[in-house]
Amino acid sequence: MTKKITVLVMAFILFISLLSIENHNVFASVKDSPTSDYRMHPNKDRISLYRKPKGKKIYTINKIIYEPGNPISIPQAVYVKNFYKNGWARISYKEQYTKKKSPSKTYKGYVKISNLTYNVHDFVSVFVYNTKGGTLKKTPNKKSKNLATVPLGTLVDIDHANNDGVLYGDNNNFPEFLWVRVEYYKNGKKYIGWLSYKDARS
């Protein structure tokens, strides 16, 4: 009888261990919403790249360029390494084509966060623009319950399941929304809530 109980206890412990490993793998597979090392684009025809914030200008990045002999425009992308609360971002950039028909070198420096956008064609994600972070709300109302504080530079996807996930303002400057419903991941936990336009940009 004692032996049977011992076997049952060991089997139960093994089951709990396997369940724990499975749950760990599930949560480990859920990545936190990125705060850096993702691709963005200039939101103006030309933006300036500086050696340091408010420092010497070292390069001009075009919003689009044309491959030699090809009339199709190519949107340019930069890779954000860090966002800073002084309104600057550290980036790296490599122009895809030059007038010499060969790739240019990689440039590293700083650009103003206000000169960057994530979306080029489709409105799929927003990034937190407010240097103090964005407050994720339960409903699109500033008096609504706070669900989480989303740090500066965090990229979050729009949750299109709820009325397209966007409440627009009165202007026609797409996509200047009043509120946007997003999915935010932190420590394996998923939050769905609303960010205000004062906190996030496209």
pTM: 0.73
Q: How far is CA 67 from the centre of its chain?
A: 28
- Which one, of 62, 134, 51, 130, lies nearest residue 90 by Cα? 51
Question: Can you list the domains of the chain with their CATH numbers?
Answer: 31-117 (2.30.30), 122-202 (2.30.30.40)
Is the Cβ–Cβ distance between 40 and 117 less than 8 Å? yes
136 Cβ contact partners less than 8 Å away, ≥ 6 residues apart: 146, 147, 148, 149, 150, 182, 184, 191, 193, 194, 195
* Cα–Cα distance, 174 to 27 (Å, whole number): 36
Q: Note the pLDDT of residue 162.
A: 54
Q: Note the pLDDT of residue 192.
A: 94
Backbone angles phi, psi at 176, to 5 degrees: -75, 90
* Cα–Cα distance, 127 to 145 (Å, whole number): 21
Q: Note the pLDDT of residue 92.
A: 96
Each residue's pLDDT, cut to its tens digit, for the chain (202 residues) gives 555 555 444 544 444 444 444 333 333 456 899 998 899 999 999 999 999 999 999 999 999 887 767 777 778 899 999 999 999 999 999 876 655 555 568 999 999 999 999 887 667 889 999 999 999 999 888 899 999 999 999 999 988 665 566 766 554 444 456 888 899 999 989 999 999 988 988 8
β-strands 200-201, 125-128 pairing: antiparallel
Is the Cβ–Cβ distance between 144 and 155 less than 8 Å? no
